């Protein structure tokens, strides 16, 4: 077997190997490390008591090599270095670069030293290799094109050594299927005529030239008419100085008259629908001729000698008013014309448009070119802009249904490059435009991967822009079996984590976050890459990393009781869980930025259900944030609000409300109970009551009755005391209502509240207490009466009236007490007229 050329051994690696005094000298990584004997000998130098070199096979038999590497993997796992099967299997099969990458990893683990950038990542090598091959093909294209009989067939591809070496039958079948699909796609692309664009353009060259001449003549006539109007306008202003009438601009007219419809039908028959559209849109969104005519007016501001500034004369003011009126009129007419065109003409003739566009490359281009300029000019909030996007989605989806492969080919050749430029230049429209890409692509792994590769080739080496596009496309809907496509996303996402641009790193983490919700295993395997970014200087990078950790913790908890696949055995889930919790503790602190805290309070809320140990930290931060953030996080009145945390073109959108809907109510309440004891609180503040109210948002479970009773007993004094505070009394009353109405502990709450109720009555009906507190307490008594606790209220108020008669007579409880007494007598005597 002839080895592929590989890079030179780094100096530090060579010195390290020489210092170990090995029995065999390492000259070729792939060959010398394949059976694992030299690796075992290296480990014996560091762990002599655990590695016996005489028990290691120094043979080339496949079973012996596999046995050696299994022993090596077990040893390294004990030493906290994960070497899964999919990592050491390519080594004993002598796959390119596998042994060299492992040796570098082993060197860093054993010596605790870092190696410089010696071995470029696989994507960069593949890219450089591809560029070199393309350059060679361009120089010797006639000589390097293989005849059909010499090209590889599907039979030769499935016999590739990288496929046949796979032991797992399911994995081998999957790789074979992917290889065949890639081969079929390559054969299909090879059959396409590379010069189809040139061929079609030459075929209709004369026709296009004639159309261009006609358009130039029409445009020249319109420009001459417009120039005459402006000259007459200029003369009338200079002579009279009066206001100018509106300039009438021709536009697309929608007429319901029979004659107009007949004329329109004749035009469609003679010119075709695409030519008719081009003629109708010829003057839309073309302001360059108008700008040139305005420049010819020579409106220059006159310099003032008094203040060395600029002073505009009356005539210039009149000219400026004319210009503003002109442009305003142009915008109104153009938008109205285009809207009529979209809602009436195209809607009626959509089938005719499809028939003409689907079979003609030039018509496809001319039709969509009509709307590229409006997409750039119109605001993203305008109805016309949304109508254009809806039209493109409709036409694109219908074309894919008719002929998916040709539609994708025409889209990539004509529209993709222009839409990419528009998306990158207009951040506010970026998501809408990028989501159009998959509209023109069939929903399968091969075609979508091909589209992503086309985007990568058009963006060249701009990894930042490509990662930005991927972070938007990852949010689209995908078939559940698109594992190859997910791997493509994940590969570039992890590559982007090393980018110097914080925006690119954040986009990469956004992709990883989305993929972790589909398949957490590959993300959990590389959690150490994310760990390095948890101290990043950019807040959104830390926020995205925290969201990934939260999602992985939920995935581990949900899958803990399920059967674990063989590939998952290589991961220590307990160790991974502890690492994720440590990362959250590292980022989610009081001293971090408010943006990270706001996001963490929402996205860590569901994690509290499975990991109650996070509740104290969560409560600590919730109490420390600004009231605006806390109110937003605890808001449960409306639907979950999703918006940007920071206004800007490059910031992501996050959930910012609804934490109590998904958090661990009991865990937070218990943390609050502990907090009250540790801080020895003398009274509650508004933030404490808001959090307790959030804990009581969901229906209380009967199984948690004892816990809630304990919490009530520990906090009831502070809750009743809050009734005497005019700012807190209303919220405290609502919280007490929740406890009083919890059936499981209702009787204990009533019995244990009697004494504290008596004390609060004396405190609240003191003359110095605000009237609002007294009215609020009466509302509380009224609520209890309506819920059937008349006797309870009667006994409490009766005891208060006997002990503090004067205070009772001056309170607002007299009339309420009389009504209770009257009901009590009526119940006893049964006399309704009593």
pLDDT, residue 239, reads 54
Q: CA 270 to CA 134: how far, in whole Å?
A: 46
Give the count of beta carbons closer than 10 Å to the beta carbon of residue 708: 23
Counting beta carbons within 10 angstroms of the beta carbon of residue 767, is it exposed (0 to 12), middle (13 to 18) or buried (19 or more)? exposed
pLDDT, residue 608, reads 94
Six-digit token string for 541: 């990078």
Average the pLDDT over each of 27-36, 226-235, 299-308 and give the range with the smallest value. Answer: 299-308
pLDDT, residue 733, reads 92
pLDDT, residue 235, reads 60
- pLDDT bin (cut points 50, 70, 90) of residue 50 is confident
Q: How far is CA 556 from CA 601, 610, 613, 832, in A?
A: 20, 10, 16, 66
Task: Tally the C-alpha atoms within 13 A of residue 490's C-alpha that lie toward its C-beta.
Answer: 23
Segment holding 555, helix H or strand E: helix 539-559
* Average confidence (pLDDT) over 605-625: 93
Q: What are the pLDDT digits (tens) for 145-169? A: 566 667 788 788 787 766 777 767 7
Residue 764 · residue 796 · CB < 8 Å: no
| 3-state secondary structure at position 680 | coil
Angle of helix 814-829 relative to helix 771-786, nearest 10 degrees, comes to: 20
- pLDDT bin (cut points 50, 70, 90) of residue 718 is very high
Residue 545 · residue 583 · CB < 8 Å: yes
* Average confidence (pLDDT) over 781-792: 89
pLDDT reading at 248 higher than 60:
no
Q: Which residues contact 451 (CB under 8 A, 6 or more apart)?
A: 408, 412, 416, 437, 438, 441
- pLDDT bin (cut points 50, 70, 90) of residue 114 is confident
pLDDT reading at 180 higher than 80:
yes
Of the two residues 168 and 297, the one the predictor is more confident about is 168
Residue 691 · residue 670 · CB < 8 Å: no
The dihedral through the CA atoms of 477, 480, 482, 483 has a sign that is positive
- pLDDT bin (cut points 50, 70, 90) of residue 255 is very low
DSSP state of 834: -
Q: How far is CA 487 from CA 289, 517, 518, 520, 573, in A?
A: 50, 14, 12, 12, 22
pLDDT reading at 765 higher than 70:
yes
- pLDDT bin (cut points 50, 70, 90) of residue 678 is very high
- pLDDT bin (cut points 50, 70, 90) of residue 321 is very low
β-partners of residue 311 are 302
* Average confidence (pLDDT) over 668-691: 92
pLDDT, residue 694, reads 92
pLDDT, residue 639, reads 66
Of the two residues 304 and 357, the one the predictor is more confident about is 357
pLDDT, residue 464, reads 87
pLDDT reading at 136 higher than 90:
no
Q: CA 563 to CA 561: how far, in whole Å?
A: 7
The domain segmentation of the chain, as residue ranges, is: 11-119, 124-145+152-190, 216-303+312-335, 588-663, 684-829
Q: CA 187 to CA 146: how far, in whole Å?
A: 13
Average pLDDT, the chain: 77
* Average confidence (pLDDT) over 649-653: 79
DSSP state of 177: H
Counting beta carbons within 10 angstroms of the beta carbon of residue 591, is it exposed (0 to 12), middle (13 to 18) or buried (19 or more)? exposed
* Average confidence (pLDDT) over 61-86: 86
pLDDT reading at 393 higher than 90:
no
Of the two residues 126 and 455, the one the predictor is more confident about is 455
Considering 381-390, 468-477, 562-571, 659-668, the range whose residues carry the highest mean pLDDT is: 659-668
Average the pLDDT over each of 156-160, 448-452, 756-760, 784-788 and give the range with the smallest value. Answer: 156-160
Residue 508 · residue 541 · CB < 8 Å: no
Nearest-5° angle of CA 761, CA 730, CA 737? 75
11-119 topology per CATH: Actin-binding Protein, T-fimbrin; domain 1 (1.10.418)
* Average confidence (pLDDT) over 7-13: 76
pLDDT, residue 674, reads 93
Instruction: Compute, in degrees rounded to 10, the torsion defined by CA atoms 108, 114, 116, 117.
Output: 60
Q: CA 528 to CA 534: how far, in whole Å?
A: 10
Six-digit token string for 256: 């319901």
Of the two residues 210 and 79, the one the predictor is more confident about is 79
Q: CA 22 to CA 38: how far, in whole Å?
A: 8
The dihedral through the CA atoms of 543, 545, 548, 550 has a sign that is negative
């Amino acid at each position: 077997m002839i080895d592929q050329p590989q890079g030179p051994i780094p100096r530090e690696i060579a010195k390290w190997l020489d210092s170990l005094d090995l029995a065999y000298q390492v000259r070729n990584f792939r060959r010398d490390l394949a059976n694992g004997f030299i690796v075992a000998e290296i480990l014996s130098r560091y762990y002599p008591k655990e590695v016996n070199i005489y028990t290691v096979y120094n043979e080339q038999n496949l079973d012996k090599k596999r046995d050696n590497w299994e022993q090596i993997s077990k040893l390294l796992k004990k030493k906290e270095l994960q070497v899964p099967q999919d990592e050491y299997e390519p080594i004993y099969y002598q796959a390119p670069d596998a042994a060299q990458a492992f040796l570098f990893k082993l060197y860093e683990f054993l010596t605790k030293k870092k190696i410089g950038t010696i071995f470029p990542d696989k994507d960069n090598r593949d890219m450089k290799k591809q560029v070199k091959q393309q350059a060679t093909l361009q120089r010797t294209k006639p000589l390097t094109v293989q005849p059909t009989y010499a090209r590889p067939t599907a039979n030769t591809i499935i016999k590739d050594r990288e496929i046949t070496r796979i032991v797992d039958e399911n994995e081998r079948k999957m790789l074979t299927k992917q290889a065949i699909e890639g081969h079929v796609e390559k054969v299909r692309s090879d059959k396409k005529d590379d010069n189809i664009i040139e061929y079609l353009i030459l075929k209709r060259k004369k026709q296009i030239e004639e159309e261009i001449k006609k358009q130039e003549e029409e445009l020249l006539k319109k420009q001459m008419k417009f120039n005459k109007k402006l000259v007459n306008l200029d003369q009338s202003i200079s002579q009279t100085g009066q206001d100018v009438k509106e300039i009438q601009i021709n536009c697309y007219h929608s007429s319901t008259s029979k004659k107009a419809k007949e004329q329109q039908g004749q035009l469609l028959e003679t010119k075709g629908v695409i030519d008719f559209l081009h003629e109708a849109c010829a003057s839309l969104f073309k302001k360059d001729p108008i700008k040139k005519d305005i420049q010819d007016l020579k409106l220059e501001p006159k310099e003032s000698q008094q203040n060395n500034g600029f002073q505009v004369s009356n005539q210039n003011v009149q000219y400026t008013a004319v210009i503003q009126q002109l442009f305003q009129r142009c915008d109104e007419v153009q938008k109205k014309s285009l809207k009529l065109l979209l809602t009436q003409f195209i809607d009626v003739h959509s089938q005719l448009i499809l028939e003409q566009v689907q079979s003609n490359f030039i018509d496809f281009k001319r039709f969509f070119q009509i709307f590229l300029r409006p997409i750039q000019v119109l605001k993203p909030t305008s109805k016309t802009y949304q109508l254009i996007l809806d039209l493109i989605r409709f036409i694109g989806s219908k074309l894919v249904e008719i002929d998916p492969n040709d539609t994708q080919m025409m889209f990539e050749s004509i529209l993709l490059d222009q839409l990419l430029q528009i998306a990158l230049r207009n951040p506010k429209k970026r998501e809408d435009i990028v989501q159009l890409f998959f509209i023109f692509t069939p929903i399968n792994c091969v075609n979508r991967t091909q589209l992503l590769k086309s985007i990568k080739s058009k963006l060249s080496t701009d990894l930042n822009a490509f990662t930005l596009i991927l972070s938007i496309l990852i949010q689209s809907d995908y078939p559940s079996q698109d594992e190859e496509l997910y791997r493509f996303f994940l590969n570039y996402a992890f590559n982007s984590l090393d980018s110097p641009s914080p925006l690119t790193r954040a986009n990469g983490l956004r992709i990883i976050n989305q993929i972790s919700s589909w398949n957490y295993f590959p993300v959990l395997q590389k959690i150490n890459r994310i760990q390095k970014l948890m101290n990043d200087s950019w807040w959104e990078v830390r926020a995205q990393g925290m969201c990934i950790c939260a999602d992985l913790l939920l995935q581990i908890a949900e899958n803990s009781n399920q059967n674990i696949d063989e590939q998952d055995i290589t991961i220590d889930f307990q160790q991974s869980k502890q690492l994720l919790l440590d990362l959250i503790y590292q980022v989610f602190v009081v001293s971090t930025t408010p943006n990270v805290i706001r996001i963490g309070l929402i996205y860590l809320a569901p994690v509290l259900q499975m990991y109650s140990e996070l509740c104290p930290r969560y409560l600590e931060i919730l109490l420390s944030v600004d009231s605006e953030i806390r109110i937003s996080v605890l808001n449960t009145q409306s639907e979950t609000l999703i918006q940007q945390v920071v206004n800007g073109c490059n910031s992501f959108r996050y959930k910012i409300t609804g934490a109590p809907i998904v958090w661990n109510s009991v865990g937070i309440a218990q943390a609050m109970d502990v907090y009250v004891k540790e801080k020895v609180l003398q009274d509650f503040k508004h933030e404490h009551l808001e959090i307790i109210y959030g804990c009581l948002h969901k229906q209380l479970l009967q199984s948690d009755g004892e816990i809630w009773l304990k919490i009530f007993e520990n906090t009831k004094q502070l809750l009743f005391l809050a009734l005497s505070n005019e700012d807190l009394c209303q919220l405290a009353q609502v919280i007490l209502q929740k406890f009083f109405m919890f059936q499981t502990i209702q009787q204990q709450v009533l019995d244990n509240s009697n004494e504290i109720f008596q004390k609060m009555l004396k405190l609240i009906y003191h003359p110095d207490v605000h009237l609002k507190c007294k009215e609020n307490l009466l509302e509380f008594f009224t609520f209890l009466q309506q819920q059937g606790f008349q006797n309870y209220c009667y006994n409490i108020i009766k005891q208060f009236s006997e002990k503090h008669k004067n205070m009772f007579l001056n309170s607002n409880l007299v009339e309420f007490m009389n009504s209770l007494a009257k009901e009590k007598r009526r119940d006893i005597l049964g006399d309704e007229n009593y």
